[in-house]
Structure 1
Amino acid sequence: MYPEEIVIPMKEQLTFNGFEDLTTAEKVDEAMKKEGTTLVMVNSVCGCAAGAARPGVLLSLTGEKAPKNLTTVFAGFDLDAVKRVREYLMPFPPSSPAVALFKDGELVHMLERHHIEGHSAQAIAENLKQAYAEFV
């Protein structure tokens, strides 16, 4: 498990921008029951999370459409919450970072680590904006 002093600033990059920090399995279940669209970012300490995933997710929210509910869990820190999110992400294998879009509790779009690693924040944002245009 990662030390809190390392994780908190990475969490805050999202929570200071309106993301709900899901720290327990129960909070994940509550978030998945919400109507409308829910974005879930599986946050991570890796470089591709810092350089592309978090900035890309935030940039994706600047378009005409955006998910109603913004949520995040942190791999290697919020262990029970991440385990529960990964159940909702089936059949996709565990991946961090990862970004998933749900509509009324159904998974409709998924970015796994291999969609993030080596891609720019702008490319990730455009991918997500296309999903928002279709599902939001």
Structure 2
Amino acid sequence: MYPEEMVMPMKAALTDRGFQDLNTPEKVKEALQKSGTTLLIINSVCGCAAGSARPSVLLSIEGEGKKPNYLTTTFAGFDVEAVKTAREYLVPFPPSSPSIALFKDGELVHFLERHHIEGNSAEIIAENLKQAYEEYC
């Protein structure tokens, strides 16, 4: 498990911008079963989370266009039980962090695994997410 002093600023990069911190299994279940659309980012300490995943979700919700109703995050290697619960909603995909998921009425409709994030710019990932918002939100 990562130390709190390392993780909290990385969490704040999203929670300070309106993402709900899903730090318990109960919060995950409640959030991912809501009606409407929910964006979930499984955050991480890795470089691709810092350079691409976090910036991309923030870019994806800027400006005009459709957006998810709810913005949520949980942290791999820190919110251990919450992430385990979140991953139950991501089957059949294997565990991946960082990763970004879009749910509609509790069903997974769009998913970006680490290999979709790693090596891609935040702008490219944000565009992918915006296309998913146009389709599902």
Does TM, normalized by the shorter one, top 0.5?
A: yes
Q: How many residues align?
A: 136
Over 3 Å off, 4+ runs: none
* Cα distance in 2 between the residues matched to 1:113 and 1:29: 23
Q: Residues of 2 paired with 1:12 and 1:74: CA distance?
A: 11
SS of residue matched to 2:35: coil
Where does structure 2 lack aligned partners over 5 or more consecutive residues? none
Q: Structure 1 vs Structure 2: percent identity of aligned residues?
A: 71
The one-character-per-residue Cα deviations of 1:90-116 (angstroms, maximum 9, x if unpaired) are: 000000000000000000000000000
Q: SS of the counterpart of 1:129?
A: helix
CA drift at 1:7: 0.1
Instruction: Kindly report the root-mean-square deviation, in angstroms, between the aligned alpha carbons of the 2 structures.
Output: 0.5
Task: Give secondary structure in 2 for the equivalent of 1:118.
Answer: coil
Distance 2:120 2:112 in 1: 11
How far off is 1:56 after superposition? Answer: 0.4
Distance 1:26 1:133 in 2: 29
CA distance in 2, matches of 1:93, 1:33: 20
Correspondence for 1:46 = 46
How far off is 1:41 after superposition?
Answer: 0.2
Q: For the residues of structure 1 that align with 2:33 and 2:93, how far apart are their CA atoms?
A: 20
CA distance in 1, matches of 2:65, 2:32: 23
Offset of residue 16 of structure 1: 0.4
> Structure 1 length normalisation: TM-score?
0.99
In structure 1, the gaps of 5 or more residues are none
Aligned to 1:96, the other structure's residue is in SS state coil
TM-score (normalizing by structure 2): 0.98
| 2:118 counterpart residue number | 117
